[in-house]
Amino acid sequence: MEFGIFTVGDVTTDPTNGTTPTENERIKATVAIAKKAEEVGLDVFATGEHHNPPFAAPANPPVLLANIAAQTEKIVLSTSTTLITTNDPVRIAQDYAYLQHLADGRMDLMMGRGNTGPVYPWFGKDIRQGIELAVENYALLRQLWTEEAVNWAGKHRTPLQGFTSTPRPLDGIAPFVWHGSIRSPEIAEQAAYYGDGFFHNNIFWPMSHTKQMVQLYRRRFEHHGHGSADQAIVGLGGQVFMRPNSQDAVREFRPYFDNAPVYGHGPSLESFSRETPLTVGSPQQVIERYGAMADQVGDYQRQLFLIDHAGLPLKTVLEQLDILGGEVVPELRKIADARRPAHVPAHAPRHAERVAQAERDAEAIATGSASTTTGATSTSTTETPAEV
């Protein structure tokens, strides 16, 4: 399994001392956090996309990810949201293909609709058309990546005639795509239809809801012929704060939780921890809780943690990464490896693996032995998923 972190880039006042980082400080801290994540042995760093305060997450994530790619060697760079609804698919195709080249294929991205309503009119879109924007724009994006001369007409942008998106994807293989959704079955269906990954960012949701969404995606993944349901590519979110002593963790994190912009002044820390994946305690408590997630959703491929939010100072975040990489993730890897059947993927498809698969597929076609199963690494279709 892949383990990593994601950031929403919030610029939040530290409730314990009243200090607020500047945007410059927060941006530079994000780069430091990504580099530290690789140093401690994590697999993935992901960033959200925001266009409004109080966030310093990039409005154009490839800028941040390209900077990090130049300063790292192994860690996979991803988005935790690329707004497929309000970004032009042409721009997405070009920006992320360019990043793919700069990162030597060490990247993927997650499509999402976002949860900030005002963003839609800022970019001339209507939030009431969010689902159909996601479906139409993604179909066009795939076509831009897989065809060199695109003729296209749809409802939500001007037509294209013989358009070639540049640069072309690295080695002719488009980046692997996740579809992130919290509550929309249409997006789970979209991920399943294309054989892409499905990421359920369940940080605000009970496991019963997460289980329902993941099961839907798995069933539809199998229905569309990409493999068995347990081979579907699944990712989950999470939130943790750890100290050697659980009481110390709770005492230190409580003021950050109580004043957080998103969930502060709402349910208690104890209530939120019971109902969502938030785990504030010792490393062993985190291991026990996250080691059991697969009991609910099946063996899955990517676990991302949110650890740099709510005004936590950089020093504290780096300490959390030391604990995560040094004590928690090695044990979670052992648990995941011990329970995962051999036919279930251990991680999301990586660039080199997808290139090799494409070469095998081409050889099979040439020799007349092509498989009818597209698999999770399928890269081309010009149709769109049916509504669920």
Give the chain's length: 388
DSSP string, 275-305: HSS-EEE-HHHHHHHHHTTHHHH-S-SEEEE
Distance between CA atoms of residues 105 and 110, nearest Å: 15
Q: Please name which of 216, 157, 154, 156 lies closest in space to residue 181, comparing C-alpha atoms.
A: 216
**Which pLDDT value is given to residue 196?**
98
Q: Rounded to whole angstroms, how far apart are CA atoms 80 and 44?
A: 11
Distance CA 253, CA 271 (A): 14
Q: CA 195, CA 326: separation in Å to the nearest integer?
A: 34
Inter-residue contact 188 to 181 (CB < 8 Å): yes
- The edge-to-edge listing of strands for the beta sheet with 197-200 is 76-79, 44-47, 2-7, 302-306, 234-236, 197-200, 176-180, 108-112, 82-83
- Cα–Cα distances (Å) from 152 to 63, 138, 144, 365, in that order, read 28, 13, 10, 27
Q: What is the pLDDT of residue 22?
A: 95
Using 50 as the pLDDT threshold, list the residues of the chain that sit under it.
372-382, 387-388
Listed by start position, the domains of the chain span 2-367
User: What are residue 227's DSSP bridge partners?
Assistant: none
110/223 Cα distance (integer angstroms): 22
The highest-level CATH class for domain 2-367 is alpha beta
Question: What's the pLDDT at 128?
Answer: 84
Which residues, in sequence order, are CB contacts of 47 under 8 Å at separation 6+?
6, 7, 9, 30, 57, 58, 61, 64, 65, 78, 79, 80
Give the largest CA-CA distance in the chain. Answer: 69
3-state secondary structure labels for all residues of 103-122: CCCCEEEEEECCCCCCHHHH
Helix axes 130-146, 89-102, angle to 10 degrees: 50
The residue with tokens 């070009």 is: 94
What confidence score (pLDDT) does residue 384 get? 62
